[in-house]
Structures are given as C-alpha cells and as structure tokens.
Chain A
Amino acid sequence: MIWGTGILNGFRISIRNWMRGPITVQYPEQRIELPERARWTVTHKLNPDGTPLCNACLVCERECPDHVIRIEMSKNEDGSKTMHKYIYEVGACMMCGLCVAACPQSGIYMSHEYELATADPADLTRVLLSDIRVPGKNSNKEETDA
C-alpha cells in the first residue's frame, strides 16, 4: 500500500543520498582510474631494444571474430618475413581480447587507451606496425649457432 511506511522510507533514502554527496565524475576534468583488467585498444609489446615481439604468425588475424586485424606481409628468400603493415580497424574492434589470448608470442596486449573518438573516420583504421623485418626460423638458428 502506497500510504504506508514506504513514503517515509523514500524520504529517508533520498536524504541519505543528500548526505552522501554527488558521485558524478566530471569527465573530462576528472577521470577515474581504469581497473587493471580494462580492455581497450590492441597494442604491441616491444623488446627492450624497441623492436616489436610480433613475428607475423597471423594467428591474431585468423582468431579475430570481427576481422579487424589485417597483416600485409611477404616471405623473403632467406626464410625471413617482411611485415609491410599491421592494420587495426579500431572502429570495428569490440575489445574481446581473443587476439591477445591467442598470440603465441604474447606480443600484444589490451591497452587502457579509451578516448577513441576521431574527427575523420579514416583515422579509425590504424597502422600499428610497418616495414618490420622478421627473421625466419633458419636465420634465427644461424644467429644462435653463431
């Protein structure tokens, strides 16, 4: 029944809210810390010398349910690979993290970059890596042997 204690309870709850004070976060002046496991854009991990861990194995490209990752690469005669472009369609990415889970090199991770709006739709297609030479298995072996 509406005329019962519910009315008083309503008053109590709203004045308790008054005492709590606003919980509004005034973005962009105020920002909250993202939780550690927040998943935003796919980003490459780098070796200490600045080269990417990625070896162009194409697993992430195959794994991606939305086909937002596209790798353009070619194989060289000596068994090494040249990755021309690592293309990432951030506008279509749903941040599921399957590519990160699938990566055998653990070469990519989901970053905390969440302000993804752009003025130009073309900016939503990002080239994350370009013109990277990846040593092949044989050349790797030669190096370690030497």
Chain B
Amino acid sequence: MNDAVRIAIRIGAMLALLLANGVVLIYMLRKVLGRLHIRIGPNRVGPFGMFQTVADVVKLLAKEDLMPDSADKALFWIAPFVVFVPSFMAYIPLAFGPNLAITRLDTGVLLLLSVISLIPLGIAMAAWASNSKWSLVGGMRAIGQQISYEVPLMLSVLGPVMMAGSMDISEIVEAQRDVWFVLPQFVAFVVYIIAAQADTQQTPFDMSEAESELITGFVNEYGGMRFGFMFLAEFSNMFIVSALGVALFFGGWYLPFLAENPTALALGPVIFLVKTYLGIFVMMWARGSQPRIRVDQLLAFSWKALIPISLTWVVVWACIQRLVIG
C-alpha cells in the first residue's frame, strides 16, 4: 500500500468518525436532555426515535442554500469550512488505543489546542459576513469567550504534560498506566473541565448562541448544510475536548488495576470511547442543569478566577515535581 492510499484511508476514517459522531451526539443530546427534563425525547422516527437525526440531516441537505443579499459573499461562503476544518484537523493527534492513532505526533496536545484555537477565526468570518446584528453580537461574544477560555485550557493541560514529560498523547496515556492524572492533577482537571465547556460553547457558557436572546447568534443567517457544518463542528469539538480530557486525566484506554490485562488492552479503543462518551454525558448533564450566565460574568470568571488558579497550579506543580518527585 502506498502512502497516498494510506493517507486517504486515514482521512476517510477521521471523516467517518466525525460524521457518525455528530449524528450519534445529536441524538444523545436530545435523549439526555429529555430525560433530565423528565421528558422522553425523540421517539417517533424509527425505534426509540433513533432515525430522527438522520431525518434531520436529510432535511438539512435538501434545504435551499440561502445567502442574504447584503452578505459578504466570499466570506459567507467560506466561513463554515473555516469553522469545520480545524475541528476536523483536531482528530489527527488523538490516540484511541495503544498503536491506534491517525498520526503519532511529538507535539500532539499542542497541535490539537492550536487548531482548536483557529475556530474563532471562522466564527468571526461568519459573524461579520452575515451582515446581521444578531450574528455580529453572537460572533463577538463567541470570539471573546473562546480566546479568554483558551488560556486556562492550555494552562490546565500543562500539569499532565509536565507529569508525562511529553506532549505526545499516546505517551501521556502510557504514563498513566499506574495512576490516572486526575488524582494528582485535580485542580488542573477542574479548570480543564470548566474551560473545555466554555471553549466548546456548551450551555452554561453559550452566550454566543443564546437562543432566547440572539436567536443562535453567528449561525443566524445560515441555513441548510452550511448551518449543518457549523453544528457538526460544535458537536465534534465536544467529542475532541472530551477525548483529550480522557487522555490527559483519565488514563485513555487503561482501566484502573487492569493495565496489564491483555483483554483490557485489546478492548482499549472501546474503553476510550466509553470514557469519552461518559465525559460528553457530563457536559450534557451540565447543559441540562445550569442556567446561562451573563457574558461579563463569564469573561470575569476566566480572567479573574480560572487563569490565576491555573497559573498558580502550574507553578506549584512545577515546584512539587522538581523538589519532591525529583
């Protein structure tokens, strides 16, 4: 097999994972929110409403591709892809099992976080190109929020990276063979989970969409599959931050006390996915439980609480690692 075919297969696998994931996550979100609100959720299309998302995708694909008259045509056209592609690229360094990754990169965590931080660019383009006040306000909120929360996100990642001594996600997971990093790095974990929730604009922090005030913010003028791309990117980001959290704090494909068990190792990818989906469930649980907070409170929380905490933790952990562990 030559390199081109191998690369094509890997890209195809990434794309399949992303699309399948999107469909599953939308269904899961509806069902989970339904149960949390004592409702049933979708139950009409197919058994247990399982084909509801498929029907929605078909609807989105069949819809007319509208473009507002006063929109900046080129930017409007290209913005969904600028949102979608970084989210797609973020799958590259993810490691699903021992020897199961698209690519092993020495700077995997860095690559993942840096491509994720390109998303605000696409959002800015969408918001500006739509030439609508709702979109612009939502877009400005999204950009401010994502840039603010990327800082604590990256700082919280430093703890596990220091412990593993590597930025390769596979090596970080290998380093958790005995102890999951969530125990020594609990502070970093708390910062990570809050920052990840805010960075992916999940509900307690979804001022950029704010259905009740901004009518979904920056995606306001988008319809059909262009909206679908934005939506898909959002769900894919949820998967990515959850997978990264599992890899950094919850031992990736390892189970506690069963790290040497061959069966557990063979089931590594399944364990990894189950943990990732549990993480996503927690995000949805937060989404179904918490009210949206105000945008100034959100930014103040990032700059006045999360960043000082995570900076202090980085310094404290660096001292501990140097002086105590050696």
Known: A2-B297, A11-B285. A18 touches B290 (CB 8 A): no
Report how far A24 CA is from B36 CA in the complex, Å. Answer: 13
B43: nearest residue on chain A (CB-CB)? A26
A24 neighbours in B (Cβ, 8 Å):
38-40
In the complex, per-residue mask of A19-37: 1 if CB is within 8 Å of any chain B CB, else 0: 0111110100000000000
Q: Closest CB-CB distance, A146 to chain B, in whole Å?
A: 66
Report how far A135 CA is from B77 CA in the complex, Å. Answer: 83
Instruction: Give the number of residues in A that approach B within 8 Å (Cβ atoms).
Output: 16
Instruction: Give the number of residues in B that approach A within 8 Å (Cβ atoms).
Output: 17
Known: A11-B286, A14-B288. A2 touches B38 (CB 8 A): no
B37 neighbours in A (Cβ, 8 Å):
14, 17
B290 neighbours in A (Cβ, 8 Å):
7, 10
| A-B pairs under 8 A by CB, number | 39
In the complex, are the beta carbons of B40 and A22 less than 8 A apart? Answer: yes
In the complex, are the beta carbons of A14 and B40 less than 8 A apart? Answer: no
Report how far A2 CA is from B296 CA in the complex, Å. Answer: 13
In the complex, are the beta carbons of B38 and A17 less than 8 A apart? Answer: yes
Report how far A116 CA is from B35 CA in the complex, Å. Answer: 32
Known: A2-B297, A26-B40. A14 touches B289 (CB 8 A): yes
Report how far A17 CA is from B62 CA in the complex, Å. Answer: 37
Asked whether A15 is an interface residue with its Cβ less than 8 Å from the other chain, the reply is: yes
In the complex, are the beta carbons of A10 and B289 less than 8 A apart? Answer: yes
Asked whether A13 is an interface residue with its Cβ less than 8 Å from the other chain, the reply is: yes
Report how far A7 CA is from B285 CA in the complex, Å. Answer: 12
Q: Closest CB-CB distance, A68 to chain B, in whole Å?
A: 37
B293: nearest residue on chain A (CB-CB)? A2
Q: Closest CB-CB distance, B296 to chain A, in whole Å?
A: 13
Report how far A26 CA is from B44 CA in the complex, Å. Answer: 11
A20 neighbours in B (Cβ, 8 Å):
38
Q: A7-B290, A15-B36 are in contact. List 9 more A-B contacts (CB 8 A).
A: A3-B301, A10-B291, A13-B289, A17-B35, A17-B36, A17-B38, A21-B38, A23-B38, A24-B39
Q: Enumerate chain A interface residues (CB-CB to B < 8 A).
A: 2-3, 7, 10-11, 13-15, 17-18, 20-24, 26
